[in-house]
Chain A
Amino acid sequence: GDSVTQMEGPVTLSEEAFLTINCTYTATGYPSLFWYVQYPGEGLQLLLKATKADDKGSNKGFEATYRKETTSFHLEKGSVQVSDSAVYFCALLTWAQKLVFGQGTRLTINP
């Protein structure tokens, strides 16, 4: 079945560091891909998405590019802030319109 694999956390960085969180997927066809963020004590928020190969999703300085060749959707940010501390989930949308999530990556940014 469809699945998503994220890099294991937790990830701890200093403020202004470069961030990469790896995400790869296995799916039938070419699903839409998403990154969701969960801040402490809150629900999931959509961070960005891409619906087809080579699309780049971007929001709040975060970017991810849909790579069909490597079945990847890595999340990047050039300069992280303390406020970016959260849990990040990569997900795909199956043909049956269901979201399949990765295991989540906890990110902590130190000042």
Chain B
Amino acid sequence: GAVVSQHPSRVICKSGTSVKIECRSLDFQATTMFWYRQFPKQSLMLMATSNEGSKATYEQGVEKDKFLINHASLTLSTLTVTSAHPEDSSFYICSARGEGETQYFGPGTRLLVL
């Protein structure tokens, strides 16, 4: 149980385009979902927290207009990187939390912006 999927697993896009990443909780309802960014050989940095049906809460230094988060249902959250630039290239990981405090992580999405 407690499986979280992400799609796509890898994406390459041109600079200036937008990319959408989906995060789904497959076998539980996630009242809260989290989006993280992981640079090579570094730790995960929390970008934002989203609760179903409400606006996401962004961490300090994260541009909310650049990283649009939608949590429209209890099983789906999306992260859209708008007008992507090469510096946005990274590994994006989502997690989902249902009842209790444990977060379950997706497999991650590797984004490369050319």
Contact = CB atoms under 8 A, between A and B. Distances in A.
Interface of A: 32, 36, 41-46, 49, 89, 93, 97-104
Secondary structure at the A interface, as helix, strand, loop or mixed, is strand
B93 A89 contact: no
Contacts, number: 43
A95 to B, nearest CB: 11
A71 to B, nearest CB: 18
B99 interface: no
Nearest to A102: B43
B43 A45 contact: no
A102 B42 CA distance: 9
A44 B43 CA distance: 11
Interface residues of B, number: 21
A107 B64 CA distance: 35
B46 A98 contact: yes
B43 A89 contact: yes
Nearest to A100: B46
Contact of B44 (A41, A45, A101): A101
Nearest to B44: A101
B89 interface: no
Nearest to B102: A46
A49 B104 CA distance: 13
B93 A43 contact: yes
B70 interface: no
A63 B108 CA distance: 26
Contact of A43 (B34, B49, B106): B106
Contact of B4 (A36, A43, A99): A43
B101 A89 contact: no
A27 to B, nearest CB: 15
Contact of A44 (B41, B42, B105): B105
Contacts of A102: 43
B102 A45 contact: no
Given A93-B101, A99-B103, A103-B42, 12 more contacts: A36-B105, A43-B93, A43-B105, A46-B102, A97-B101, A98-B46, A98-B49, A99-B34, A99-B95, A101-B43, A104-B41, A104-B42
